[in-house]
Structure 1
Amino acid sequence: MLAAAALVAALAPPAHAAVQGEVYVALGDSAASGPLVPNQVVPDLGCWRSDHNYAHLTAQAIGARTFRDVTCSGAKTKDMYESQGTDLGSVAPQLNALSQDTTLVTVQIGANDVGLTGFIEDCLNLLPPPVGDACNDDYIENGQDTWRLKTDALRPKLVTLAADIRARAPQARIFLVGYATYAPPNGCYPRVPIIRADANYIRATLMYFNRMLAEQAAAAGLRFIDLQTPSVGHDPCAAPGVRWIEPYVPAAPAAPFHPNALGMRNFATVVTAAVTAAVTAAVTAAVTAV
């Protein structure tokens, strides 16, 4: 048995070589597509998709054999299944990009289902209290946090989505990608004009949202990639050249409160490491099983 194991170990391809054979499909919304990050690619210009988003950079890093990026700004979970309308025309359902030979899938979705963009826009406050008005109490109805209710309502949709991805791509390793840090404790008013209470509310609700994503990934048998932890200290309050997420008035090419090129490079490092680790574990398990 030892001789057989040694032979398999000698013949098994190293992890990086195994990754190079991947057929990689990237699904997701604007956090994945990279609106305004150079260079925006055709077709589907209405999706505001960058050729330097983390999916493109990950595909290059692992030497993917085939790569299909169908991430699209504004996407919701329903746009996995239905054509999505954009300012420049409609695009096909994202799940159409999957096939029986797909071996790697990343999906970052859900923020638009719960209204994250509108939520952050509502919290813009050019004047502090008592002149300016806090936004966090706008999301409390009958003593319940509506943002969290919407987050919890997304749970079964993600489990269903995971099953549908797996049905279309039965060979694939599937990674559910979380969202970055958008506010440090207490914020940084007035540099980013979100008052302290609202910054803490945004931070808490996004942490809850990412925790939900991690829980649903586990429930569905997916791998979860945490972008919140590595992006601490690189939020919109950080200085240009340090931050990975741009504030209301970007200093680097990116949409407000979306990743810039530096952020995408760092997210690609995280995603590439997760993908490579999964392949390494699979190769090791195969050798050990002999």
Structure 2
Amino acid sequence: MRSRRSLAAAVSVLVAVLCGLASSITTTAAASESADRTSTHRSQQTRGWTHYVALGDSYTSGPLIPLQRLDPLGCLRSTQNYPSLVALRLGRTVLTDASCAGADTGDMTERQKITLGYHRPQFDVLRPDTDLVTIGIGGNDYGVFGSIIGTCPGLRDADPSGNPCQEHFTVDGVDTLTEAIQNTRRDVEAVLDGVRERSPEATILLIGYPRIAPPTGTCTDILPFADGDYAWLNDIEETLNAALATAAAGNDATTFIDTYPASLGHDACSEHAWIQGQHLNPIGAAHYHPNRWGMEGVAEVILDHLGERGW
């Protein structure tokens, strides 16, 4: 999920400095011979995974989390993002990570404009023998996330104890962002169908978004929102995750992985935050994005679902 696609351009210079120190490492494990393929997706969990594809936006790619990969630089993809951590833990898995900062559902089938060029359609990396796919997508569709963090901080001073951002996005009694998320659900459903078509043997995991704001209280130095907009931000994120869960439920090869409960107590305001606040950390995380601990937390939820415990 991205505040704006322009964030990728804004931070790419910082990433380039970091990447000068990094080799173009990949954290994929070596491939090994797999057991015979079975006829069901669930049986794959008992035999290991051989080809894992990760699709998604910046909440998957991990902008500014060291070390940043160079292939391509503009996607702001970390060697310590959750796909890399999951592949490392699975051990006998080759990871193809196609995630890219700023991506939305349209970038699954169309090339994406990034700093210094274009990123190929993410679906291009899917193969008939791909047996595990994770997808973290939807937050950028219809500009929902970018609209929130691009607008809400600027409205706080006018009504610091109220909910000016919620009011801003409510037109004739209708929350326009909530309404847009219903379109996101349909777009994600099409993405899941596209993955199933290209990789018919794959188990597909649709990854939800972790909590950004606390359930109660505020921390305006970290999340500069009006007090009443904290609850609204939670509502929007819960609505998005619910839409993703509904999309997954309609696809028999897909399971929704809900990271929201596990991230309770790890919001941007917490001592052990999974999410960076408003201040960009050039050697840690982009603002309003997961940090390394957030990636580890999401990876643990995924591995727990796959039955791979014991970090």
Equivalent position amino acid for 2:151 in 1: D
Equivalent position amino acid for 2:97 in 1: D
Deviations 1:203-248 (A, max 9, x none): 1111111011111101122101011110011011112xx0000100
- 2:172 equivalent to 1:142: yes
Is the Cα contact below 8 Å between 1:187 and 1:195 reproduced in 2?
A: no
The residue that corresponds to 1:282 in the other structure is none
Counterparts of 1:90 and 1:171, CA distance in 2 = 29
- 2:127 equivalent to 1:99: yes
Deviation at 1:182, TM superposition (A): 0.8
| Structure 2 counterpart of 1:165, from 173, 195, 200 | 195
Is the Cα contact below 8 Å between 2:208 and 2:241 reproduced in 1?
A: yes
Deviation at 1:82, TM superposition (A): 0.3
Deviation at 1:249, TM superposition (A): 1.2
- 2:188 equivalent to 1:181: no
Deviation at 1:77, TM superposition (A): 0.3
Query: Larger radius of gyration, structure 1 or 2?
Result: 1
- 2:241 equivalent to 1:210: yes
Is the Cα contact below 8 Å between 2:159 and 2:226 reproduced in 1?
A: no
In structure 2, relative to structure 1, the CA distance for the partners of 1:15 and 1:170 (3 Å cut) is closer
SS in 2 for 1:135: helix
Is the Cα contact below 8 Å between 2:153 and 2:224 reproduced in 1?
A: yes
Deviations 1:149-191 (A, max 9, x none): 1100122222221111011001100000000101113441433
In structure 2, relative to structure 1, the CA distance for the partners of 1:236 and 1:169 (3 Å cut) is same
SS in 2 for 1:60: helix
Counterparts of 2:260 and 2:79, CA distance in 1 = 23
Aligned length: 261
Pairs within 5 Å for 1:16-55: 18-19=47-48, 21-55=49-83
Unaligned runs of 5+ in 1: 1-13, 278-290
Question: What value does the CA root-mean-square deviation take over the aligned residues?
Answer: 2.1
The residue that corresponds to 2:263 in the other structure is 231
- 2:275 equivalent to 1:245: yes
Deviation at 1:128, TM superposition (A): 4.1
Deviations 1:232-269 (A, max 9, x none): 11011112xx0000100145610011100111111111
- 2:93 equivalent to 1:65: yes
TM-score (norm 2): 0.79
Unaligned runs of 5+ in 2: 1-42
SS in 2 for 1:124: helix
The residue that corresponds to 2:229 in the other structure is 198
Is the Cα contact below 8 Å between 2:155 and 2:226 reproduced in 1?
A: no
The residue that corresponds to 1:275 in the other structure is 306
Counterparts of 1:64 and 1:159, CA distance in 2 = 30
Counterparts of 1:272 and 1:224, CA distance in 2 = 13
Deviations 1:68-117 (A, max 9, x none): 00100000100000000101210100000100110000001010003202
Equivalent position amino acid for 1:148 in 2: T
Is the Cα contact below 8 Å between 2:160 and 2:226 reproduced in 1?
A: no
- 2:108 equivalent to 1:80: yes
SS in 1 for 2:307: helix
Counterparts of 2:156 and 2:183, CA distance in 1 = 34
Is the Cα contact below 8 Å between 1:234 and 1:245 reproduced in 2?
A: yes
SS in 2 for 1:176: strand
Pairs within 5 Å for 1:88-127: 88-115=116-143, 116-125=145-154
- Percent identity between the aligned chains? 36
The residue that corresponds to 2:27 in the other structure is none
